Amino acid sequence: MQQTLSIIKPDAVKKGVIGKIIDRFECNGLRIAAMKKLRLSKDDAAKFYEVHKDRPFFKDLVEFMSSGEVVVMVLEGENAVVKNRELMGATNPKEAAAGTIRADFADSIDANAVHGSDSDENAKIEIAFFFAKREIF
Ligand code: ADP
Ligand code: MG
């Protein structure tokens, strides 16, 4: 069993598709081990996305991620990191395969509905960013 971090981003929360996105995870072998709704400050968002700090889209990304509420989850299952990335689809929803979360719920490369950890190592770091051990079951 592996764990990964998922974030339902502000665009998807505003659209009211939290339940529809969670359904994709639960129907595909990813159990919700932890979950909370919160709003990131700009500092939180900048720290979370620090790896992208030199990219041209960093400022917009931080603005967007702190623009509204997000739902943060720990997903658990076999190959959870890769499984979640498959369910999410490509970063740019225009390139995301049919039936993926981003193809169905995202509008643009910036407002792309979900975040998912990209490796086991980053999953551990990202989970620890949001959750204490006693919040994960
Ligand atoms: P992913 O979320 O698929 O792992 P990245 O880690 O490359 O993608 O990028 C993090 C986030 O930054 C993306 O989900 C998206 O919201 C934003 N982003 C990435 N590339 C671009 C871009 N070229 N223009 C605008 N926003 C981008
Ligand atoms: Mg990424």
Do the Cβ atoms of 110 and 60 come closer than 8 Å? yes
- Look-up of token digits 């700009």: 42
Cα–chain center distance at 119: 13
Model pLDDT, residue 97? 98
Closest-CA residue, ligand 1 atom 17, reads: 110
64-79 burial, b if ≥16 CB within 10 A, otherwise e? bbbbeebbbbbbbbee
Annotated active-site residue 115? The verdict is yes
Closest CA to 6 of 69, 81, 64, 57: 81
Model pLDDT, residue 36? 98
- For 103-132, the pLDDT digits (tens) are 999 999 999 999 999 999 999 999 999 999
- For 33-92, the pLDDT digits (tens) are 999 999 999 999 999 999 999 999 999 999 999 999 999 999 999 999 999 999 999 999
Model pLDDT, residue 104? 98
16 band by pLDDT with thresholds 50, 70 and 90: very high
Residue 109 in contact with ligand 1 by CB distance below 6 A: yes
Taking the CA of residue 49 as reference, the ligand 1 atom at the shortest distance is: 10
Cα–chain center distance at 122: 13
Residue type, 128: A
- How far does the centroid of ligand 1 lie from the alpha carbon of residue 121, in Å? 19
Model pLDDT, residue 105? 98
Residue 61 in contact with ligand 1 by CB distance below 6 A: yes
